Structure 1
Amino acid sequence: MTTAQNPRAWRRERTFVPFRLPDTIAALPRRPFEFSPAGRDAAAAASLEPRALFHRLLRDQESEASLLLSRRILHAFLPSEGEHPEDGPYAAAEPEAAAAIIAAQVAEVRAELAGTADALGRPDPEPREAVVRQRAPLALLGGCWLDHVSQPATQPSVIVNRLFTHHLTLRGPGNGKRGLAHLRRQALETEGVHLPSIAAVDFLDKARARPLTALHGCFYLALSRLPANFLPEVVGVHYAFFALGTDDLLTGTAPPLSEQRLREALVAYLALAGPDERRRLRAAVRLTLDLEREHTAMLTELASFRAGLSVEAKVAEIIARHAPLAGTQHGGVRVGDRLLSDIFGASGPARGEATAPGLAAFLTEFRDSRYLRPTGSGDGGCRFTDAMRFGGPMFGIFDEREAATFRAWATRVHAGERPEIEIPPDTVGDEQAARWSTALARSAPADVVVAEADPRDHRALFHRLVNIENFPNTLPLAAERAEQCFQDAEILFVHGSGGRYTDATWFDYSPQALYERAERIYWEKLVEPYRPLEEIPDRDEVLFRQSTYYLTYLIDGAWLHRLATLGHDERESDGMLFSIYADEMGNGDLRKNHITLTHRVLASAGIELPHIRDEAFMEQDELPDDLYGFALQQLCMCLFPDRFYNEILGYNLAIEMFGSGEMRLHEIQKLRHHGIDTCYEQAHLTIDNFSAGHAKQAADIIVSHLDGVRRTLGEAAVAAEWRRVWRGYASFAYFLEQPMLKEIAAAPDTASPAPPPPGDDTVSELVI
């Protein structure tokens, strides 16, 4: 007998600790991190070269290897337990007093760094520009550790939602142009530093990032990948980084978060934290202060190094930087008895021979060549510098500062100056970087376990997906499951018009066609069929029907929680999706958080459950076993926000539209009749409307994304992207329209019978 036939059949005698609001968790229980043998091998094969590692962490948010590398980085940077024992006053202090101790420590270092920043503001323009450019990667990473802090395993935590309000501020509330990254870029450009996207392949090259800068960035990125397991460290790093305000001191910009606001969050966390969490937080504060001191010391060293460079050394540096791109473009140009194409070709400096002695020898020859002899034009020009002018063969190759350096050198050469050319090696920060690199190479966290994922049932799989930070070995299963569902759902491209609440039949995309389809579904399937119920089912039946929804209500918004993170947030549609997710989380207001609303409803119905992150949730006896498929699909696809971006857009449209209309109104009527809280249903009825709510926004997001595809890749690319978007919509309908799928499967003339939802033992009527 299925649960759809017997509303009480799923209940079993179980014991667990119920979850109650507010969620006052300060840290998840310490658990091992499981990786598959393949994930272990991929991480072992990954480059630990600082720049390569930085790019890997920034651009890869979906693989086991990236998570294992993150765990190793955190182990290398964070102190071991007991390495920083807490002093008595801090450990025993009330929250406000403990926060004051930390704040005083940070303020002391800030005063120290303020003097350093002031000194760094006075160098000549070239050293100053080098300092600002070098700091840029860390300035633009600021706050990345909050990207994934809001997730199914942590919501609706008190501290996570407080941090989420900070995250909203850093992103720019409702407008990315007011966000920290945009403001930081404006400050950089004011200093003459123009950089590509932080995810661009040449970002670190253009920032001229030293290994130490890249390694510091790797720590912050690693923390952003495992925030649920390192929540005390997130809070500590967050407070220290922004209260210290190194970037504000260097550029003279206003702090994005006031110290008062930061301290309020710190006090709130300390009120929740136990001794272990307090120790971990303070250790993270100390580490952040040490890192920022270390980096500003490197910036001071860099400014001194740049200020002490001779013109010849600066010329050599520019040539070394451009040599790898020179290739064989110089034809028959010779310096001495060698072709430039040989010097900068396969056997020259461009291929690893750009040593200081080699460059010095080349410049010694070059300054006496005909290319640097005065042209006699009276303007101090020569063939080399004239080639950089508009219309010359090297126009646009060098930026203005580089061209000015070449002109200054030519002027000195013309004046007869022939100093011995010495090119000091640039080793700024290398000693400190070597120390971190050694620690990383030796890092072997004891809590890493190598095993294949083998969840025994849907409950175990659900547990692993909610706690994916601890079970990265489940990622391959999740990707396979999500992809299979998307493929299976395409049967509705043909049969979808018979859906009661959806219509997933295929149509050729145009913005007008999408809006017309969505509006027709909204009115004809969701709104116009509504009639008030004349008879209300009994309480047990109403609660059973609600129980078929609760599993997905408890992960509300999860399909969006990994979108629009640092390095993956440059499309207009990304910001729009993040705004919807923020609404689902109440914009950090716990009273409006949809997970909070779900628990309110559960409590009003007398239903007690553990938190979904807890192992005890696998033993709960309130939610039916055979309805996990819907929630599992949502959790599977959300773990791949890059791979399944298009599908998530379509799914988002379907689920936001379903928030309105007949079903929602009937549920409100039944819940009210039995005295059960309707806050969750009411919130979605209001927020998901197709006038200006999430349903309309979801359609706008698809149009915005596909318009970007058309403008960048052409019209032909839109069709392929659209098919994936629409199968995302169909995947929602695939679970929702089970009665119709039963009919399709039973029809003798069905060419492609509808498969059951992936992994479900029975075809359950999610909506009856």
Structure 2
Amino acid sequence: MTSMTARSLYPLVCDPECTVADTVRAGALRAVLDGSRDPKAAQDGLDLLRKRIRTWADGERDRFAALAGTAPAGTGLHRSAARVLLQCAPLALVSGAWLSGSTGMATADEPTALAALTLYASDVGVGRPYRSRGDAFAALLRALDSAEYADPPARTALDPRILDSSFELPSLLLLFGRMAEEFRPETAGADLCLREAGLLPPLALVRAVHGGEQRADWAALDPGAPRPLEPAGGLAGSAAVVETLAGDGDDEDSRRVLAGCRWAFDRLVAWSQEVYRFAGDIARPEQQAAELIRLRAREGSVYHHAFQLAGRPLATWLAEARQDPYPLMSALAASRLVRPGQPERSALVTGLVGERGAMFRVFSPEDLSVLRQWIASLPARDGTGTGGDADTTVEAGTDTGAPSGAAAGPGAGAGAVRPVPALPAFGGGPDGQPPRDLREAYVLLQRRTQSPALRSWAVSYVHGWLGRARHRIDRSALPLPADWPAEGLRPWLAAQHDRHAEEFAQNREDELPTREQLIDSTVQLAPLTMIDGGWLQGFTDYRLASSQVGYSLFETYWDELGNGLTALNHPLIYRELVEGMGVGLPPTGSAEFARWDGFQDSSFELPVYWLAVGRFPVTFEPEILGLNLAMELSGVGGTYRRARLGLRKHGFSTRFVDIHNTIDNVATGHSAWAADAIDSHLSALPVGGPYRQEAWRRVREGYRSLNPPRSFPAWLADRRARLAARPH
């Protein structure tokens, strides 16, 4: 990036496979956090700053609520509240999303990361689809007929009714979240600020106007409030993250938490003040009409050269109205098109917009209501105005119309009190180098932040791996049927579980591995098992984590990491097992772990695939769904039970396999969720045509990718797939 506005950055950082963070120079972005425009805030410690945030937010909500008593009654008040509601959309639709990168495989067993994951799980409503805080705000938008740009949240950047300044805080905060390793303390501090502030102050106006209608889940809209049935979250959860991160308040992390909190408070105050001014303006009929004319001016000027208004072409008036619509409004008010105080007799909103009028369907019903209210608010003429009773009928075809559905570009709405400057140029950093080998890739891919070179390498690796999985798949013993079953995968899943149980019973008396063999196989699986859930890390993305397909995948990830508890954290439990075998391993995310000479190089092949494919939850969604099913089903009913026999025989803990044999069960566990996610994905595709069959083909390849063939022809297929995937 060289120069970018907050509005243009917003959809990029909302992307589940966000690339914009790849080239960001952390130092340049960090400069955004330096300093505060509020001298008092710059001197506060964290406790005092939190108190000031609470006091300010309470007062600011009272200010907004009071506007409901000063605005004109009727539909104009409801329209004003809806427009104020839209200013909250860029932030509220992604409430908590900046925590999506709080855990990576390198930090999957750290207390701070687990505390942040717990908080995030509460925000997304883990275990249920469409239960995130953002979903609650989208429901309110729909209830107030303002959701045209709400899905996905990135589309709000295209909504011309939203001020540019409404994108500043969420865009940068999401970017900090995408660079979790570099900005973890600052993100935690900013999150604490927003939780301390609670319900966004402008929403107090909306609540005052609509609160009695019970149209919103106000607890979900308040990021500081805990949520029923969810993990510990809200302000208490955010404070817990800061506590585990900042310690006694004397270290560098504490300073950075405070810097993030100050920055977020500074931006929140500035934004709220601007929205308050906007709210005061938009409540007036003339301001609503001015905004509407500004939005329509650009396109309308193309069609208005022949029509004269006060001695000038209307096209000229409209060109000027893009910056200042009031002169045009004054001219209209004095013209034969408008009869002040009498909208029912004004051609601008009657004959011109009728089915034979030159502006038929140019204005929406809501637009016409705005214009009628403005005309009704105009004082009656003193009798000297022109055209009082003149014929104002304009036939269709006259050069006075504008194309239906015209809209100005983003940010053109009235009420933009100040121009929003472009963000600093924080791109152009070094591209980096691709990994030298699988061990280096293993270390790098555990981090959330990546370079373009690493991203390109990861895509190539995934394509090659899938090329092997695809090789002669129809001639393999793949248990998945050739076509997706019409009844879904649950019956198939039950049959596979029965097969696993039968195989276990038949092989129960087979010789178990020796102690040395068991220890070696357990150790060689450590690079894989220490990143349990790594293939699902992309589904921690905010939108995917609460989607119909992705919510169960996020819940699976949440389970693999122990639901925020170190005692249940699968990587830690496996580490304890290895240590019980007398083997001490370095931290999983360290280079020392990857370079440990007790591992074979081949032990990193599958883990690197997991980490690589997990970065692309949209590009490789069907393949990940298939891989997830294969992984969750692989040990249930048979393999885990046999592994338990071997561990017990040699006196080792069986806790790891015991947990997996229960939580991966085919009735209510991960295997069942995996099957349901595939069924949900396939059910949404057309029955006829190639789309569903193509998706199922990819699911099958993903299923086989857990254990692809290793023959020489399969490796040639790997190479061909990589070459075919190269950009041309």
Shorter-normalised TM-score: what interval?
A: 0.7 to 0.9
The answer for the alignment partner of 1:157 in structure 2 is: 110
The answer for the alignment partner of 2:376 in structure 1 is: 411
Alpha-carbon spacing, 1:410–1:548, altered in 2? closer, same or farther (3 Å)? same
The answer for the alignment partner of 1:700 in structure 2 is: 676
Matched, 1:320 2:320: no
Alpha-carbon offset, residue 396 of structure 1? 7.4
The answer for the alignment partner of 1:719 in structure 2 is: 693
Q: Distance in 2 between matches of 1:267 and 1:209?
A: 36
Alpha-carbon offset, residue 656 of structure 1? 0.9
Alpha-carbon offset, residue 196 of structure 1? 3.1
Q: Distance in 2 between matches of 1:284 and 1:196?
A: 30
Alpha-carbon offset, residue 366 of structure 1? 4.6
Letter in 1 for 2:308: G
8 Å Cα contact 1:73-1:219 kept in structure 2? no
Match of 1:441 among 424, 429, 439: 424
Classify the secondary structure of the residue corresponding to 2:115.
helix
Alpha-carbon offset, residue 514 of structure 1? 4.4
8 Å Cα contact 2:504-2:639 kept in structure 1? no
The answer for the alignment partner of 1:267 in structure 2 is: 243
How far does the alpha carbon of each residue in 1:682-739 deviate from its partner, in whole angstroms, 9 at most, with x for none?
111111122222112211111111111228xx643212222222211121131xxx5x
Gaps of 5+ in 1: 1-42, 91-100, 746-752, 760-768
Classify the secondary structure of the residue corresponding to 1:580.
helix
How far does the alpha carbon of each residue in 1:408-450 deviate from its partner, in whole angstroms, 9 at most, with x for none?
2333569337999xxx99463525x33xx3xx33547xxx851
Matched, 1:494 2:474: yes
The answer for the alignment partner of 2:715 in structure 1 is: 755
Matched, 1:655 2:631: yes
Instruction: Output aligned runs, 1:9-408, within 5 Å.
Output: 43-44=1-2, 48-59=4-15, 61-63=17-19, 65-69=20-24, 71=26, 74-79=29-34, 102-123=46-67, 124=71, 125=77, 127-188=80-141, 193-199=146-152, 202-206=155-159, 208-247=161-200, 250-251=203-204, 253-254=218-219, 255=222, 256-257=225-226, 258-271=234-247, 275-307=251-283, 311=286, 313-323=287-297, 335-336=307-308, 354-356=321-323, 359-360=325-326, 362-363=328-329, 366-367=332-333, 371-372=337-338, 379-380=344-345, 382=347, 384-385=349-350, 398=363, 401-408=366-373
Alpha-carbon offset, residue 130 of structure 1? 3.4
Q: Distance in 2 between matches of 1:429 and 1:73?
A: 27
The answer for the alignment partner of 2:418 in structure 1 is: 430
Alpha-carbon spacing, 1:634–1:69, altered in 2? closer, same or farther (3 Å)? same
Alpha-carbon offset, residue 472 of structure 1? 4.5
How far does the alpha carbon of each residue in 1:579-623 deviate from its partner, in whole angstroms, 9 at most, with x for none?
222222222122222122222212211221112211222331332
Classify the secondary structure of the residue corresponding to 2:102.
coil
8 Å Cα contact 1:556-1:595 kept in structure 2? yes
Q: Distance in 2 between matches of 1:527 and 1:79?
A: 64
Instruction: Output aligned runs, 1:665-684, within 5 Å.
Output: 665-684=641-660
8 Å Cα contact 2:459-2:612 kept in structure 1? yes
How far does the alpha carbon of each residue in 1:373-412 deviate from its partner, in whole angstroms, 9 at most, with x for none?
6999x95464624676899997876555532221123335
The answer for the alignment partner of 2:609 in structure 1 is: 633
Alpha-carbon offset, residue 118 of structure 1? 0.9
Alpha-carbon offset, residue 480 of structure 1? 0.8
The answer for the alignment partner of 1:559 in structure 2 is: 535
Match of 1:687 among 614, 639, 663: 663
Letter in 1 for 2:30: H
The answer for the alignment partner of 1:762 in structure 2 is: none
Letter in 1 for 2:152: A
The answer for the alignment partner of 1:482 in structure 2 is: 462
Q: Distance in 2 between matches of 1:59 and 1:304?
A: 34
Matched, 1:508 2:468: no
Q: Distance in 1 between matches of 2:151 and 2:104?
A: 24
Alpha-carbon offset, residue 127 of structure 1? 4.6
Matched, 1:524 2:499: yes
8 Å Cα contact 2:277-2:415 kept in structure 1? no
Alpha-carbon offset, residue 633 of structure 1? 0.8
Alpha-carbon spacing, 1:67–1:353, altered in 2? closer, same or farther (3 Å)? farther
Alpha-carbon spacing, 1:519–1:297, altered in 2? closer, same or farther (3 Å)? same
Q: Distance in 1 between matches of 2:48 and 2:161?
A: 34
Alpha-carbon spacing, 1:361–1:271, altered in 2? closer, same or farther (3 Å)? closer
The answer for the alignment partner of 2:440 in structure 1 is: 460
Alpha-carbon offset, residue 169 of structure 1? 1.3
Q: Distance in 2 between matches of 1:277 and 1:375?
A: 62
The answer for the alignment partner of 1:764 in structure 2 is: none
8 Å Cα contact 1:216-1:291 kept in structure 2? yes
Classify the secondary structure of the residue corresponding to 1:57.
helix
The answer for the alignment partner of 2:407 in structure 1 is: none
Q: Distance in 2 between matches of 1:554 and 1:135?
A: 40
Q: Would you say how many aligned residue pairs link Structure 1 and Structure 2?
A: 658
How far does the alpha carbon of each residue in 1:508-537 deviate from its partner, in whole angstroms, 9 at most, with x for none?
223437455544443335653443244332
Alpha-carbon offset, residue 52 of structure 1? 1.4
Q: Distance in 2 between matches of 1:756 and 1:605?
A: 39
The answer for the alignment partner of 2:702 in structure 1 is: 728
Q: Distance in 1 between matches of 2:40 and 2:29?
A: 19
Q: Distance in 2 between matches of 1:389 and 1:676?
A: 83
Letter in 1 for 2:29: L
Of 629-638 and 282-291, more deviation after overlay is shown by 282-291
Of 613-622 and 140-149, more deviation after overlay is shown by 613-622
Classify the secondary structure of the residue corresponding to 2:715.
coil
Classify the secondary structure of the residue corresponding to 1:562.
helix
8 Å Cα contact 2:432-2:452 kept in structure 1? no
Q: Distance in 1 between matches of 2:483 and 2:22?
A: 39
Letter in 2 for 1:716: P
Q: Distance in 2 between matches of 1:657 and 1:516?
A: 14
Alpha-carbon offset, residue 119 of structure 1? 1.1
Alpha-carbon offset, residue 503 of structure 1? 3.0
Classify the secondary structure of the residue corresponding to 1:237.
helix
8 Å Cα contact 2:632-2:674 kept in structure 1? yes
- TM-score, normalised via structure 1 length: 0.76
Alpha-carbon spacing, 1:144–1:526, altered in 2? closer, same or farther (3 Å)? same
Letter in 1 for 2:497: Y
Of 466-475 and 280-289, more deviation after overlay is shown by 466-475
How far does the alpha carbon of each residue in 1:619-649 deviate from its partner, in whole angstroms, 9 at most, with x for none?
3133222221111111111111111111111
Alpha-carbon spacing, 1:573–1:390, altered in 2? closer, same or farther (3 Å)? farther
8 Å Cα contact 1:140-1:184 kept in structure 2? yes
8 Å Cα contact 2:87-2:163 kept in structure 1? yes
8 Å Cα contact 2:189-2:260 kept in structure 1? yes
Q: Distance in 2 between matches of 1:288 and 1:588?
A: 26
Alpha-carbon spacing, 1:472–1:549, altered in 2? closer, same or farther (3 Å)? same
Alpha-carbon offset, residue 324 of structure 1? 5.7
Alpha-carbon spacing, 1:516–1:394, altered in 2? closer, same or farther (3 Å)? farther
How far does the alpha carbon of each residue in 1:459-478 deviate from its partner, in whole angstroms, 9 at most, with x for none?
11111111251545311000
RMSD: 4.0
- TM-score, normalised via structure 2 length: 0.80
Instruction: Output aligned runs, 1:475-624, within 5 Å.
Output: 475-497=455-477, 503=479, 507-512=482-487, 514-515=489-490, 517-525=492-500, 527-530=502-505, 531-563=507-539, 565-568=541-544, 571-624=547-600
Q: Distance in 1 between matches of 2:360 and 2:655?
A: 65
